[in-house]
Amino acid sequence: MTASSAPAPTGGTEAEAPFAPAPVQELLRLFVKAGRAHQLYLPNNPIYKGALDALRAGFSAIWARTDELPLTFSETEICWFEQVVLSEPSKSADSLSWMFFKDGVRELKLLKGFEDKEVVALLSILQRARKASPDEDDLLTMLWEADFAYARYRYQDLGMDAAAPIADSGPKADVTREQVEQVTHTAVTESQASGIVNLSDFDATLYFLDDNEIEYLHGEISREYADDLRSRVSSTLLDIFEQQGKGDIRREILELMELFDQLRPIALGTVFSWLTRMHNPRVRPLLEAAAERLASLNTTELVRLILAQEREVALEAIRRAGSLKTPAAVQSLSKILAGSDVELRQLAVSALTEIGSPSALQALERGVEDSDREVRISAVRAFTTRQYKLVLPRVDAVVKGKTIREADLTEKMAFFEAFGTLSGEGGVEYLDSVLNGKGFLGRREDSELRACAAIALGRISSPKATEVLRKSSSEKDVVVRNAVNRALRGAIT
């Protein structure tokens, strides 16, 4: 392994990322899972082998796009080309980013072939580093000893405190022979006195702990006692249930799964993760019940999981936040709506619509101008249903802009219905110009746009709107005439 002590960049490589970060995020998720399996199971265990195979498959997705994978570490994040691909808020032995950062490793570059020859060695090193005491080798030393061929790392020399310069002793004082004998006699007398122990004699011994070591031990003890082992046990049981096909083993596991009722809120992420993978008709209801109970009892954990790195956990958290109508989730859902994942944005729109609070609808306004068609339609229909008039300026800009003319009929209809519902009498004049107006050389708008204007006028349903509709009741264009007649009959509700 090649190492460098030059200061590593803290935010990732300056070059542009060669592809989207999703495969890297999935790889790190698989790496964390494989690390957990490496801790819990023996090498011949099927669950361990499955986790390792999945990790190697994750590397294959990376090598299909590039030949090297550079990762940079901060205290709580792992970055790839300045993009956060793994966030771990807790600074503990379970945090991958903290383990590398605290021992000085700032960058790790993995090369093609690493997954076949050296990934198991790295998992073993990380396990040793988690259990290492302060006076044992740190992670940086272990990496150096491993001498990897398919990995490069860059570290920051944390250094040592500079020793204080030796002060000038100054002029020597004369000491008489009698003074030396007196001091020596006194020291011997004190050392021979029975029952006297001087605590200062022990301060510099090998077994004396300094303040940092005592603080570290307190922290580890507190973390150990705070850790919910039931969550780990549940995950292990589900792993075994998935791997084992024997009926008697599965029945025994189902009996043990009664502990789901005893899970703490911190286990919610584990339950969400398994919900997307478990389709067994006997286990899934148990997971559903546990998820419902934990989500309803701990809003804070539910909101935190909306922004989880594991995509399936975030998807399930968003669904639950919507079904439970959780107002506290609005801020996190707003961040999702500003993200790049289309499916997450679509679910966020549904969740905000179900919550329906003023702050939720305000956050939903961003969806009107979203790049995804489904997000735009869902958002604008929610505003129509709830008659949220504060979004009218955004809807007005779309209806009167050029992009609406390039949209399909469904999207045009959704925006014009919203415009008619929210603008009321104030929108009749513009809709009249679309439905009945003529442009250069007497040219009218296209049939779909005029039909949508008629539907919007039907939404307004005022005397003035009805009068405008009657102007086109004998329209020759079949599409427009049908829309006008429907609006006049009051078919639009």
Which strand ranges, in their side-by-side order, compose the sheet holding 105-111?
Answer: 2-4, 151-155, 105-111, 68-73, 77-80, 83-87
293 falls within a domain: yes
In this structure, are residues 385 and 357 in contact, taking their beta carbons and an 8 Å threshold? no
In this structure, are residues 491 and 458 in contact, taking their beta carbons and an 8 Å threshold? yes
Which residue pairs, CB below 8 angstroms and at least 24 apart, start in 474-479?
A: 477/447, 477/450, 479/447, 479/448, 479/450, 479/451
Does residue 271 share a domain with residue 413?
A: no
Does residue 143 share a domain with residue 47?
A: yes
Does residue 235 share a domain with residue 133?
A: no
Does residue 149 share a domain with residue 6?
A: yes
**Distance separating alpha carbons of residues 449 and 470, to the nearest angstrom:** 17
Does residue 136 share a domain with residue 52?
A: yes
State which residues form the domain around 468.
390-493
Per the model's pLDDT, the better-predicted residue between 283 and 300 turns out to be: 300
Question: Which residues have CB under 8 Å from 368's CB, separation 6+?
Answer: 376, 379, 380, 383, 391, 394, 395, 398
| pLDDT (0 to 100) of residue 246 | 65
449 falls within a domain: yes
Mean pLDDT of the chain: 80
Does residue 140 share a domain with residue 54?
A: yes
For residue 288, what pLDDT band results from cuts at 50, 70 and 90?
A: confident
Q: Write the single-letter amino acid at 56.
A: R
For residue 375, what pLDDT band results from cuts at 50, 70 and 90?
A: very high
Using the 3D structure, point to which of 102, 131, 155 is the last residue of a domain.
155
**Distance separating alpha carbons of residues 242 and 277, to the nearest angstrom:** 9
**Distance separating alpha carbons of residues 344 and 331, to the nearest angstrom:** 14
Top mean pLDDT of 16-30, 291-305, 429-443 is at 16-30
Q: Pinpoint the alpha helices (H) of 118-256.
A: 119-131, 139-146, 177-192, 211-226, 229-243, 247-256
Dihedrals phi, psi of 339, to nearest 5 degrees: -85, -170
Q: Comparing C-alpha atoms, which of 61, 75, 83, 67 is closest to residue 105?
A: 75
150 falls within a domain: yes
Give 162-195 pLDDT, tens digit per residue.
434 434 444 555 666 666 667 666 665 655 554 5
Task: Evaluate if residue 25 carries a pLDDT over 50.
Answer: yes
**Distance separating alpha carbons of residues 273 and 78, to the nearest angstrom:** 21
Per the model's pLDDT, the better-predicted residue between 407 and 41 turns out to be: 407
Looking at 135-139, 143-147, 187-191, 483-487, which range is the least confident one? 187-191
Per the model's pLDDT, the better-predicted residue between 489 and 13 turns out to be: 489
Using the 3D structure, point to which of 247, 263, 297 is the last residue of a domain.
297
Per the model's pLDDT, the better-predicted residue between 176 and 371 turns out to be: 371
For residue 226, what pLDDT band results from cuts at 50, 70 and 90?
A: low
60 falls within a domain: yes
Q: List the structure tokens of 189.
A: 């007398």
Using the 3D structure, point to which of 266, 297, 328 is the last residue of a domain.
297
Does residue 235 share a domain with residue 145?
A: no
Does residue 134 share a domain with residue 31?
A: yes
| pLDDT (0 to 100) of residue 292 | 79
Does residue 7 share a domain with residue 149?
A: yes
Instruction: Please state, for a pLDDT cut of 90, what percent of the chain lies above it.
Output: 38
Task: Evaluate if residue 203 carries a pLDDT over 90.
Answer: no
485 falls within a domain: yes
Task: Provide the domain count of the chain.
Answer: 3
Q: What is the pTM of this model?
A: 0.49
276 falls within a domain: yes
Looking at 15-24, 223-232, 343-352, which range is the least confident one? 223-232
Does residue 129 share a domain with residue 273?
A: no
| Cα dihedral 85, 89, 93, 95 in deg (nearest 10) | -10
Per the model's pLDDT, the better-predicted residue between 15 and 121 turns out to be: 121
Does residue 238 share a domain with residue 128?
A: no
Task: Evaluate if residue 261 carries a pLDDT over 70.
Answer: no
Mean pLDDT across 119-129: 90
Q: Comparing C-alpha atoms, which of 172, 32, 51 is closest to residue 94?
A: 32
**Distance separating alpha carbons of residues 258 and 234, to the nearest angstrom:** 10
Question: Which residues have CB under 8 Å from 386's CB, separation 6+?
Answer: 356, 361
Does residue 240 share a domain with residue 142?
A: no
190 falls within a domain: no
50 falls within a domain: yes
